[in-house]
Structure 1
Amino acid sequence: PTRRQRTTVTVRLTGNRLLSLPGAGKEVRRFTLDAGDSPAPLEYEAGDALGIRPTNCPDLVAEWLAVTGVDPTAALTLGDTGDVPFAEALHRHLDITRITPALLRFVAERTGDRGLRKLLRPGNAGELDQYSWCRQAVDVVTEHPVRATPGEWAEALGRLRPRLYSISSSPLGDPRTVSLTVSVVRYENAGGRGRKGVCSTFLADAAPGTEMSVFVQRAPHFRPPTDPATPMVMVGPGTGVAPFIGFLDERRARGHRAPNWLFFGEQHRATDFYYRDELTAFRDQGLLTRLDTAFSRDQRAKVYVQDRMREQGSRLWSWLRDGAHFYVCGDASRMARDVDGALREIAQTHGGLQRDEAAAYVRRLAADRRYVRDVY
């Protein structure tokens, strides 16, 4: 990343709005951060991501200290930070949640546990994923007690990394503020003990006005069309809708009159229709030409955004023929692949292309920056 990308800005949490409704299976929130008091300006564009530098939960730090038996005041030397007490390192500098191969290797070597060694064998990723489900690093050390020095723990754990979130606003609205759409991670381990995502709960549980350090991660490839006449198609299920709220804000602020089409999906319309009021208003204002939704659990047969694309294949092909830009944001493992497949099918069914021609057409869309993705 360039220096400009990594300029650290101090922001205050000024908004924390629950988007999911009671009964939802997920906790999804919109956070608004204000950089008005920061010495460094907040410079971003619609489509960029924001890096958050979180701290670890104090309760988890206390649990780590209890499990490891290390003196919280014991000094630990961290390269770019200098000497800090071990408790401070656990709170601000070390990754104390992720189960990594380095941690498992360290614990396996110290305890001689064959089960952990087996998890680390090549080709055993599925079993490792299953083991890691509903566990955090402290659960591994609780199950397999190890005594080690602060330096040894620091090496096994690694450094706490920033978390990146797609920005859900446009600087043309208020250049001092930035908004995020975040799914907050909370669950229980096998023993019923609460576990939390580091950054999502750092944001969700922070008091209003809390200061935090952030930076802008630029995404020059992922921008709304600059031509006011270019149509825009957006596929953003779940929190994948995040950047498209910013895209629509941007086009409205610029007075762009081109058609805009959003495919949004989640589990249940009643509880998981994030930004329902905003999207309905965009549609009523004529900014959002089409809004197609897929709520997978509201009927016996599950329906997803790619199914809605196929249903609207003829119209979607017409938009692409008219020069529309096609955007996808969200899950890379399944959704993005399925949407890509649906796009190829539409090119075959409604464009009359052969399979290899449809694949070449989609590749050309991507090469021309008319098919862009922000997937994770």
Structure 2
Amino acid sequence: MTLAPLFAARLIAWQETHGRHGLPWQVSDAYRVWLSEIMLQQTQVSTVLGYYERFLARFPDLATLAAAPADDVLAHWSGLGYYSRARNLHKAAQRVVSDFGGVFPDQRVAMESLPGIGRSTAAAIAAFAFGRRETILDGNVKRVLTRCFGIDGYPGDKAVEARLWTLAESLLPADNTQMVAYTQGLMDLGATVCGRSKPACARCPMQDGCIAARDGRTAELPVRKPKKEVPQRETVMLIALHQGRVLLERRPPVGIWGGLLSLPQFDSTLAVADWLAANGDGELLPVWPDLLHVFTHFRLTITPQCVPLQRLTATHCADDSRIWLPLAEALDAGVPAPVRKLLLQALQGSAGLPLD
């Protein structure tokens, strides 16, 4: 059976009965759709729900987001990870105000000119908010298409990806009014049925035409990315405490945790001792247990070094990138997840409770 001519109609009918409905971003408002698409990149729906509502409560519209300080935006993104998304979201909102008169563009190509919006994300916004006949091609969709149509090769390779884009465009429904249900159906099928490890083929509307299901190849399609050894990195994080405050420093605007406040980092505990000798009187406490934090491209082992300071030296002067904040206030300042965990541990210790 040739699946392509039946694909869109089957998918739309399936979505109406079995797809996800009632999600807060299933609206035609471009700002809300855009925000959800950015938050949902590499993040599960269950995780995004709470962040989405809190973010909207603080930034209810594009103009409010564009006018907000970057620190405020990062603070409301804190814990969601991949912070470049938040920085690009903020920059894009400002670009919409400056270049598009504050009105979110309704064409995919124009959307792609904004920071943080690629072709698939722009297509999703165009389809959901404006009913445009544009195709998405995120990881879930690539998995559905490679299995249904037996596409070999790693989908991240340019040639394979180009083939998938062409295929995805050929499957679009002819009627623009069906684009919302079709696009949502693609997302839902990949997320809830055609899973990576245990696809529920018996519940799939494409089962009788799916090449991977027919040939027993669901485990090998899509072809996995060639494995590379994951780099290991180490750092010592200084938890300097003085009169109920903790020392934080601003990360560089680009790179890991770009623009966030974080604990100062050192190459070794000896370097922390040197810092203490130059900046105050205090005692180096025994290091806390290492904390492992896994990024997309490397694993970071954090050694926490707590240093309660009785006195700061007269020569101590934090530069513009370093500030002292009350511990409780630091937790709400927009810090990376592992730093927040260490601050909570420090706060627990300052309250006289046993440390984990």
- Determine if the TM-score, normalized by the shorter chain, exceeds 0.5: no
Structure with greater contact order relative to length (CA < 8 Å, sep ≥ 6)? 1
> Which one has a larger percent strand, Structure 1 or Structure 2?
1
> Which one has a larger percent helix, Structure 1 or Structure 2?
2
Structure of larger gyration radius:
2
